[in-house]
Structure 1
Amino acid sequence: MSGLNNKAYQKHLTSSRDLETSYEAVRAGFIAMALEKNRRATPYIDGARALRHQIATVNNPDHLLPMQEIEAALLTAAGLSDKAQKHLQPDDKKRAIEHLINEFLRPAGDTFAEELVFRFLLFRGDALGGTMRNLAGALAQRKVTRTIMAILSNAGLRYKWQDGRSGKWFTQSDADVEIDQTLRGLSWQHPKGFRTMLYNFTPPIVKNNVDMCLLHCAPEHIATTAASATAYLALGELKGGIDPAGADEHWKTARAALNRIRDTFAAANATPHLFFIGAAIEQRMADEIWADLSAGRLSNAANLTNDHQLTAIAQWLCSL
């Protein structure tokens, strides 16, 4: 299915200006991220508060070493991640804690308890930063998913969804309230056959991860169908970062990926639709996206922060 001469984007875009992210959307995006960061930080704060109470009666840092009930917290304060701790033997853990005590807690004197809690929070905060770097993409995927699910539900179309943790497919039910948090794929019945949307999928022909892939096959046929270039109806890049400072780099990465996808499928005599959805779209970036749309290099595009545009592109995907 060719993306050339496809003017679906004109239903929700009249010029490149429509693609630009407004100041209000940027502000709302930053606030949403801050609120989510605070929500996700709560368990770390609770952990630090509990640690402080657990060592309230300890008056010597050397007495911390045999306290098995806080061993994991001590290892965290020593700079070891949860993943690293799983690979350590008991003697290795003991040496790490001894190093923490000798190098940092003893020199702190009477304030060693505060020093321990501060270090615990420091390294827990580093772990939080890692999860937050992936948060924008996860939130963007969830927003797109909820919109597609709404389009399908409004049309009376039932869907199946794939759990990203188990890989299993489940039939739509009334308990699907928070499935977007772990969902990796959606599938529904189209008048022309089954449609399956996969997130973060690597088509064998591309050999690189693609944010969104729409195939015309049922979930149970993905393994045998995905190798065929003609199985793909649309492939797209989704960038959820809201920071304008990183918008241009995100677009460069996405554009390079889309160009690679286009060339790869063209070599296989296939021309699936290509699309882009982004949260932070600056003027120059919007001009380039519009140029690609006008030239047929892109079939569709939308600003993630604009509900009208997101609904329009989701409806377009469901109609392919």
Structure 2
Amino acid sequence: MGHNLNKYINKPEDLETTYEETKIGFLSIALRKSKEANYYLGLASAFRTIVDDYEAPLDLIKNDDITISMCQAAGISTKAIGYLEPKDTKDLLTDFIQEYLITAGDSYVDQLINRFLLSQGDALGGRMRNIVGGVAGEKLTQNIISALRIRNFDFEYFDKHSKIWIKGEYFQEDNSNLVKAIKWKNGDKSRLLYYDLTVPVVKKNIDIVLFNNSNVNNKKTKEFKEFISDHHNYLALGELKGGIDPAGADEHWKTANTALTRIRDAFGKLNSEVFTIFIGAAIEAAMAKEIYAQCESQELTNCANLTKQRQLSEICDWFVTL
């Protein structure tokens, strides 16, 4: 067996996500969704406060402050609002009010708020898809930083909003979603980790990219482009799949496996060897066998199940000491 394989994985079954782990995953998504929904319920409440002041629904059109909220309730998309002339938008709102609000009589406010909430449901769905993907990255970041701290490696993280490097001592768990990159020192070695980076050698966006040095100013576009275009700078590349639904597990692995094969082929053509890793939350029996076999043959360098803390801690420690 390859010396790189996670020490907590001794057979394919060790990789499989259990019923209990899946249940906990679904529960955490449900709780997060409820938390995110509070924001949209707050919007609806604020909207209602204004609408309650109007007895005649058509008068709502005169209040420019709530035009966008009215449009959302009417099902007029953000793109449409941006494209249409204000007069045409008001005409559409007039049709909507006559068709659905005036006919609702005294309960027109309830009708309007219900429709507004329906439109916000779409926004919440989109937001949750991003959050579920992001939560996996946040968990990985937290565990990588834990490994760096325990080994007392000096590190900095790159904040995607402020676009500045921040010393590791200032990192807080709440900031995990803001981390775009991490760089650290291990003795005389320096390393640079990037998330979601389009790798020129592969011509695709890769979830996890580790460079074998951090000798670059990533804020200088030309310099950074040259750095990522040089295949000699790469050490490890990986795929991260955070979805917990067992029904989508196989599809996630197929997508990841295709990406990992593409990475090996692209670097192989340049006679450049890189490590490849896979970290996934939903791992079913057939997938586990395939992933384990790839690790045994050294096709895949290392792997971990995101829901199994020991495996995750182990791969992160391995990662920061490469």
TM-score, scaled to structure 1: 0.93
- Cα drift, residue 82 of structure 1: 4.6
Partner of 2:260: 258
Bigger drift between 72-81 and 58-67 goes to 72-81
Deviation at 1:194, TM superposition (A): 1.4
Q: Which residue, 283, 286, 293 being the options, matches 2:285?
A: 283
Output the CA distance in 2 between the equivalents of 1:183 and 1:81. 31
Q: Tell me, what secondary structure is at the counterpart of 1:7? A: coil
| Aligned-CA RMSD value | 1.8
| 1: CA distance, partners of 2:256 / 2:126 | 22
1:69-113 C-alpha deviation (Å, 9 max, x unpaired):
322211111223456545554334323322321332223233221
Task: Tell me the distance in 2 between the aligned counterparts of 1:68 and 1:122.
Answer: 22
Residues 134-153 of structure 1 correspond to what in structure 2 (within 5 A)? 134-153=130-149
Q: 2:102 aligns with which of 106, 110, 113?
A: 106
User: What does 1:2-13 align with in structure 2 at a 5 Å threshold?
Assistant: 6-13=2-9
Query: 1:87-98 alignment to 2 at 5 Å?
Result: 87-98=83-94
Whole-angstrom CA distance in 1 between matches of 2:200 and 2:80: 33
Aligned pairs (5 A) from 1:159-198: 159-174=155-170, 176-198=172-194
Q: What residue ranges of structure 2 are gaps of 5+ in the alignment?
A: 219-223
Q: Which runs of 5+ in 1 are unaligned?
A: none
Higher mean alpha-carbon deviation, 300-309 vs 64-73, is at 64-73
Q: Partner of 1:309 in structure 2?
A: 311
Does structure 2 retain, via aligned residues, the 8 Å contact 1:77–1:100? no
TM-score scaled by length of structure 2: 0.93
2:10 aligns to what?
14
Query: Which one is further off, 73-82 or 235-244?
Result: 73-82
Matches within 5 A, 1:1-320: 6-82=2-78, 85-174=81-170, 176-218=172-214, 219-220=216-217, 222-320=224-322
CA distance in 2, matches of 1:193, 1:57: 66
SS at match of 1:296: coil
Distance in 2 separating the partners of 1:170 and 1:92? 48
Instruction: Indicate how the Cα distance of structure 1 residues 191 and 6 shifts in structure 2: closer, same or farther if over 3 A, else same.
Output: farther
2: CA distance, partners of 1:199 / 1:59: 53
Q: Does the 8 Å contact 2:142/2:173 carry over to 1?
A: no
3-state SS, counterpart of residue 199 of structure 2: coil
Tell me the CA shift for residue 37 of structure 1.
0.4
Question: What percentage of aligned pairs have identical amino acids?
Answer: 39
1: CA distance between counterparts of 2:65 and 2:114? 19
Q: Distance in 2 between matches of 1:282 and 1:79?
A: 40
Q: 1:281 corresponds to which letter in structure 2?
A: I
